[in-house]
Each structure stands twice: as structure tokens, then as C-alpha cells.
Amino acid sequence: MAKIITYNVNGIRSAMGKGLLEWIKASNPDVICFQELKAEPSQIDVTVFEKMGYNHYWYPAQKKGYSGVAILSKQKPTHVEYGCGTKIYDDEGRILRADFGAVSVMSVYHPSGSSGEERQAFKMKWLDFFQKYIDNLKKDYKNLIICGDYNICHQAIDIHNPKSNANSSGFLPEEREWIDGFMKSGFIDSFRFFNKEPHNYSWWSFRANARAKNLGWRIDYNLVSNNLESKLKRAAILPEAKHSDHCPVMLEIDF
């Protein structure tokens, strides 16, 4: 059994200052996929993760204090793939994959389009690219667990106010159509596989006391290849962990 956690830490140094390490020690996941590091490994004390028994792999963005992904794992991967081979995306540190024999775990940080039209256009281009990239990858890697911040709410149940957010980046019809199609191309939304209830979110705005009121969005997912369905054991969102404006999302799977 493996416990896998995806966590957009919104700056790993900031999160470490808010008790992230103690939380990892207590929750003891086998694999952690971080997004939005906003740091390079040289800027943090990576030995703290080694002392907890983790192998660690980092893929920061070229731009300082921006984006970046990482994977920590108790088991040493058979192979680690840095990036996707396309410079415009790799410069932003968006994809990192660790293979554990027949199963591959990916940490992905999908772009946000909330800063304006230019980034929204970039996001839509990326989504098109990512679908093709994964379609191609699936030919050789049948068992994928794609963890990360997708920056998209799939359905109305995944956002606190679907009506007023109908024209907000992250809940646009074309984004929702994309994630729906992506799931239908061969992936299970592991959280929804086990949990059908509303009011389950993984990100809250820092504004208007949104987190205390649970006015959130579910934009962080552990998507699992359809053929691993029988291996799924449990999934949960962990909102009590407060090191970021996101919270961790957990998957337990037999592999």
C-alpha cells in the first residue's frame, strides 16, 4: 500500500516556516508531489527530507521565486524524468515524473490564467499540449498517477459559488470541458471515486476569510489511470494542514 500526497505549497520555504516538516513526519506519506516551490533546492536544507527517509527530486523554474515541482519518495524510483522536452513549459518547471517499476507518479503544476488574457491563452495552449503529451506517454507508461494543481474545477460541486464564478479562470466552460475530456481519455478522479459530497475544496483565496468560511475551489487532483481502478483504496482532502492557500490531497493505492 502506498500513500501519495499532492500539495501545492505556495512557496516551500514559507510552508516549512509554518510547520510543513512536522506535518510530513506525522502523516508519513510514501510519495509527496509538491507544486509551486518558488525556490531552488540550493535555497533550502534538503537534508531534513533525507533524515525523514526520502529520496528527493526537484525541478524548479528558470525564473526565481516562481512555479517549480518536486517529488519526494521513500522508495527509490527506477527512473526520474525531468520536464516534458518542450522549452517554453520546462523553463517554468511544470512536470516531473518518477517511475516505480510499472507505475509512474507525476507532479504537475498547470498554469493559472487568472492574471489576464495572455496567461489564459498560455494555459489553454498548455492544456492542449498536455493532453497530447499524456496520450503519447500512455503508449509506453500504462499506469500513471498524475498528481498536481490543475487550476481547474471540474464541476459545479467543486466550487463554492459556481454561478458567480462562471466567467472566472479556473471554471471557464472550455477549461471544464478540457478536464472532463482529459478524465474521459483514461483517468479516474480518485477523490470523487470515493467521495461524492459537496463542500470539499483544496484551495481558498486569502481574501474575505474564505478558508474559515470554507468558500473554496477543488483544483488539486490525483488522477489515476483507469486500469489501476482495482488498486484504489482511499482518498481524502486534508484541509487541517495549513501551510499554504492550498491543502494536501491524499490517495492510498495498492502498488
Given 91, 140, 149, 158, the catalytic residue:
149
Distance CA 252, CA 216 (A): 24
164: left (phi over 0), alpha (psi -120 to 50) or beta: alpha
Measured in whole angstroms, how far is the alpha carbon of residue 113 from the centre of its chain? 16
10 closest CA partner among 189, 204, 190: 204
Catalytic residue flag (residue 149): yes
Q: Which phi and psi angles does 15 have, rounded to 5°?
A: -65, -40
Whether residue 189 contacts residue 152, with contact meaning beta carbons closer than 8 Å, is answered with no
Whether residue 37 contacts residue 62, with contact meaning beta carbons closer than 8 Å, is answered with no
Whether residue 152 contacts residue 114, with contact meaning beta carbons closer than 8 Å, is answered with no
Active site residues: 149
